[in-house]
Amino acid sequence: MTTLSSTQPQAEVPAKTKAARIARPYMHPYAAGILLGLVLFGAFFITGNGLGASGGMNRLVVVFEDALFPAHIDRTPYLISMAGGDRNPLENWVVFVTIGTIIGGFTSGYLNGRVKVEIVKGPKVTNRTRLFWAFVGGTLMGYGARLARGCTSGQALSGGAVLSVGSWAFMLAVFGGAYMLAYFVRRLWN
């Protein structure tokens, strides 16, 4: 890939490339961290709760489960608290946080020229292998989030901000486990 500068003559750019949005640089990590802290404070201030995503996704799944298998919902204590009887699983703050996160992420990606369909992988890894292991990893992360009673945003950001010992232990386990597992899956990126 060549980079055009003021000293190089500009070649004619194809029409398809002209329409593509140019990716803008990422925000400085410290500035992004400060903004994330302000968003977390705003979430605590407005809703009385922190941030989280796995609970919202869980409730979105329960909507479909309740539509297909309402008797199962009414027999399972965990699900009764969300959708048992006449309860609507979407009537919870975390659903709106999750939907807002998805909309905000796509909006930010679009405005900064980063929305595109691609599979990021190493040069020796096939698309099929990458997609398979992404599915396995996502499934394990989703199961782990429910088992840990929160995802990294709910446990680490919200729980860590209020100095919850369990949340700090969770994050140490996440980073420790990731570093130990990275050795065994490093070939998936080569």
Integer-rounded Cα radius of gyration of the chain? 21
Give dist(CA 43, CA 154) in Å, integer.
12
C-beta separation of 73 from 65 below 8 A: yes
Q: What is the pTM of this model?
A: 0.70
Alpha helices in 2-126 (DSSP H): 15-19, 29-47, 54-68, 70-75, 77-83, 93-111
Q: Taken in order 121, 124, 128, 129, is the CA torsion positive or negative?
A: negative
What are the residue boundaries of the structural domains of the chain, listed by start? Answer: 27-116, 121-190
The span from the CA of 94 to the CA of 4, in Å, is 46
CA within 13 Å, CB half, 135 = 6
User: pLDDT tens track of the chain, all 190 residues?
Assistant: 444 444 444 445 455 544 567 888 888 999 999 999 998 898 889 888 888 878 888 888 899 999 899 899 889 888 888 888 888 888 888 888 888 888 999 999 999 998 888 888 888 889 999 899 899 988 988 888 878 777 777 888 888 888 889 889 988 988 898 889 888 887 777 6
Q: How many C-beta atoms surround the C-beta of residue 151 within 10 A? A: 24
